Structures are given as C-alpha cells and as structure tokens.
C-alpha cells in the first residue's frame, strides 16, 4: 500500500544529507567531547563548528546557542530560569500555546510561584497585541512573556518583532517558542528583541532528540540540568554529538533551499485549500489560512458526523497520515485546547484535521487524499 505523509508539523523525514553528515560520528568519530585526547577533541570541534553554523544562520554569536534535547526542554529551561533566576513573578502567555509552555506555566501558577495572565485572541486565532500591551502596562511585577512564533496546530504566525518591542518597552523578559519557524523562516536575532528562542531538528529534516536554546547574552541563568560542565556549564550530560552535527547540516540545507522549498510547499497548501473548499463547501478553515500563517500547515474542520468522526482512523487505514492537531496529544479523542479556544462551544460540533506539508509532497498526493475523503464521508 502506498503511504502518503501529510503530518510534517509533527516530524519530518531525516534528509540523506543530514544522515551522511552524521554517519562518521556514529561510527569512527565516536569520542566523548569532554575527553582531552584526539577522539574527544575532534568530537568537540564538530560541536563547536555546528554551533558556529547555527549562530551564523540566526545572526547571533555562537556563545548564545546551546544544544538541548529539543523544543520541550528548551521551553522549560527558558520559563523556569526566567522565574527562578531572573525574578519574574508574572507570566503572560496565550491559551493556545504548546503544552510544553502551557503546562509549565500552569504548574508554576498552581504552586503560587507566579501569577499567570492569558492574552486574548482575535477571531481567527491571532494574538491580540492591544490586550498584550494592556497586560504589560498593568503588571506590577517583573514579567515573562512567553508566546509562540507560529502555532503548531493552526499555523498562525505572530509578529515576533512587534511583541519584542512591547516587551522592551515594558522591560519584560521575552521567550518565543520558535520550533515551527526555525528552519522554515529567516530569523535575525540581532534585529529581534527576544531573550530566548528554541528549535528542534526534526521539524526541518534533521534528527529527533536534538534542539537549541538561544539565550540572549544580556541575561545570565543557571542550568536546568545539573551534573556536568557540558555546554559551557549550561546543560549537563554528554552531548548528542551526531544529533548536533545533523541539526546543523539540516538547518544549513533548509536555509540554502528556503526560497525554492517555500514556493513549492505554499503552492501545495493553497492548492489543497482551494480543492477542499470546492469539494466540501461546508468546510471551515481554522486560523488565518491565507494570511499570516505557516506555509507548511493547513488546518480545516468538518462538521461532526458519524462518518467524519472516524475520518482520521479510516484515512490511516488507507495509508494516509494526518493528524487532528498536535502530535504530542494526537492520541486524545477530544478536540484540542487550540480549537476550543478559537471556536468555543462550537468546537464540539467540529472534526478538525491538520495537513502539514514538506518539500517531498506533491499535488498528485493531494488529489489522492481528497478523492479518498470523498469516498469516506
């Protein structure tokens, strides 16, 4: 059975180029980077070269890039350090953040460590910047703003520079979860007022289990994980050597091929959006589909019926891989917190479906998926 993969916001296939770059460090160049002899030195050199490459792409200094296990660890580090090390007593976030952010904030608030405020959303799921400024202006305590650059479910893009300027105006710490945009959009950290961003290699054809945390050099925090001096005393534990090498190579390739890949993927997104709307006039689009939105993500909602309720399952049986939202919670049977916060009570009468694309997808695949959906509902 031919399989079709339309869940690239969850993870992407490792590129042959990234795998090729990783292979020597999986075989003959296996030294522990902390070791002082030749095996260790060549491993350490590979990590530092990867760090320089990542820093150059993000237009920052290598000293501000730290390698982690992925986006979740990086977000946790940024949020917890902002509270414990930088003295933030108030956190402003949104109700549609990734659970790596939401659950961390909820835990801190539940234990009375911080107060939490949630910025309002516009009708199509964007952050209400006027309400954000109201929250910042009225805050009586040092504040952390943690808002994602792009929503992983509906694809909405936030104006990260505008939010950064608001945070600068009100002297707030700013963390942005950029997992869905690192490797997909140019990010210039010298031109963006932000204290923390994060990335994950597997979102742009790099390996799983490796990510980055950018820490602005104007601030100083303590490590989340103790027990070693790796990552310049910022992240204990033997480095994921081959993962780091693969991360850097995948990011280099994604940056080099950005314009061509973006044009191709955006054409697929619009083609599928138009084809779905024509085939299913009752369909709703979640988020700002043809506005400020990820070119990789298309989120739609079918009216809830016995047939649409089984749509994800039946498409899977036909070899078509898509999701109802975030892969981190795709096993859940209920509508996601993102869709609920956009549609309110109406969400329970909808069946949301997220299609997310990569450079390997084709219009022919889209045609096959739409024909299969027609058969099923």
Q: What is the DSSP letter of 151?
A: -
H/E run at residue 356? strand 350-356
| Confidence (pLDDT) at 268 | 98
- Ramachandran assignment for 125, one of left (phi > 0), alpha (psi -120 to 50 degrees), beta (any other): left
User: Is pLDDT at 111 greater than 70 in this prediction?
Assistant: yes
Torsion, Cα of 128, 130, 135, 136 (10° steps): 120
Residues 6+ apart with CB under 8 A from 278: none
| Confidence (pLDDT) at 1 | 81
CA 92 – CA 173 distance, rounded (Å): 10
User: Is pLDDT at 37 greater than 80 in this prediction?
Assistant: yes
Query: What average pLDDT score do residues 179-205 get?
Result: 98
Q: Reduced to 3 states, what is the DSSP secondary structure of residue 323?
A: strand
Domain 4-12+258-376 is found in CATH 3.40.250.10: no
CA 285 – CA 330 distance, rounded (Å): 19
Sheet holding 211-215, edge to edge: 65-68, 211-215, 196-200, 173-177, 143-146, 90-93, 115-118
Sheet holding 284-285, edge to edge: 284-285, 297-303, 350-356
CA 355 – CA 300 distance, rounded (Å): 8
User: Is pLDDT at 221 greater than 90 in this prediction?
Assistant: yes
pTM of the model: 0.96
| Confidence (pLDDT) at 329 | 46
328 tagged catalytic: yes
φ and ψ at residue 284, rounded to 5 degrees = -110, 150
User: Is pLDDT at 330 greater than 50 in this prediction?
Assistant: no
User: Is pLDDT at 227 greater than 90 in this prediction?
Assistant: yes
Given a contact cutoff of 8 angstroms between Cβ atoms, the answer to whether 200 and 149 are in contact is no
Query: What average pLDDT score do residues 323-341 get?
Result: 73
Query: What average pLDDT score do residues 97-119 get?
Result: 98
CA 235 – CA 247 distance, rounded (Å): 17
CA 88 – CA 293 distance, rounded (Å): 31
Please, which pLDDT band fits residue 275 given cuts at 50, 70 and 90? Answer: very high
Extents of the domains making up the chain:
4-12+258-376, 16-256
**What number of other Cβ atoms are within 10 A of residue 28's Cβ?**
10
Question: For 94-133, b where at least 16 C-beta lie within 10 A, e where not — what string?
Answer: bebbbebbbebbeebeeeeebeebbbebeebbbbebebbb
Catalytic residue among 88, 321, 328, 358: 328
Q: What is the mean pLDDT of the chain?
A: 96
Q: Which residues does residue 196 pair with via DSSP β-bridges, in sequence order?
A: 175, 215
- Ramachandran assignment for 327, one of left (phi > 0), alpha (psi -120 to 50 degrees), beta (any other): alpha
Domain range 16-256, CATH class? alpha beta
| Confidence (pLDDT) at 332 | 46
Of 161, 125, 162, nearest in space to 289 by CA: 125
What pLDDT, in 10s, does the model give residues 301-329? 999 999 999 999 999 999 999 998 655 54
């Amino acid at each position: 059975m031919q399989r079709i993969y339309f869940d690239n916001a969850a993870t992407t296939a490792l590129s042959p180029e990234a795998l090729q770059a990783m292979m020597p460090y999986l075989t003959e160049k296996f030294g522990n980077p902390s070791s002082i002899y030749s095996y260790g030195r060549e491993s350490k050199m590979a990590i530092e070269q990867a760090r320089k490459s990542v820093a150059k792409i993000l237009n920052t200094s290598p000293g501000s890039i730290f390698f982690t296990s992925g986006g979740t660890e990086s977000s946790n580090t940024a949020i917890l350090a902002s509270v414990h090390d930088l003295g933030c007593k108030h956190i402003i976030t949104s109700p549609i953040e990734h659970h790596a952010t939401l659950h961390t904030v909820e835990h801190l608030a539940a234990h009375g460590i911080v107060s939490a405020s949630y910025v309002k959303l516009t009708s199509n799921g964007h952050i209400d910047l006027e309400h954000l400024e109201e929250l910042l202006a009225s805050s009586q305590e040092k504040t952390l703003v943690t808002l994602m650059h792009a929503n992983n479910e509906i694809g909405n893009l936030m104006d990260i520079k505008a939010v950064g300027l608001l945070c600068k105006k009100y002297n707030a710490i700013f963390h942005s979860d950029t997992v869905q945009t690192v490797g997909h959009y140019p990010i210039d950290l010298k031109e963006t007022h932000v204290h923390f961003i994060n990335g994950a290699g597997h979102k742009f054809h790099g390996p799983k289990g490796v990510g980055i945390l950018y820490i602005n050099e104007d601030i100083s925090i303590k490590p989340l994980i103790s027990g070693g001096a790796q990552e310049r005393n910022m992240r204990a534990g033997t480095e994921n050597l081959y993962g780091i090498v693969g991360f850097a190579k995948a990011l280099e390739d994604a940056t080099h091929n950005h314009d061509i890949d973006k044009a191709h993927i955006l054409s697929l997104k619009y083609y599928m959006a138009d084809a779905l709307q024509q085939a299913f006039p009752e369909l709703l689009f979640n988020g700002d589909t043809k506005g400020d939105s990820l070119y990789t993500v298309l989120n739609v909602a079918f009216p809830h019926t016995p047939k649409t309720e089984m749509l994800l399952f039946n498409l899977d049986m036909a070899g078509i891989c898509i999701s109802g939202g975030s892969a981190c919670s795709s096993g859940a049977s209920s509508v996601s917190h993102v869709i609920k916060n956009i549609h309110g009570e109406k969400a329970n009468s909808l069946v949301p479906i997220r299609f997310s694309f990569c450079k390997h997808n084709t219009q022919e695949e889209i045609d096959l998926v739409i024909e299969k959906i027609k058969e099923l509902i």
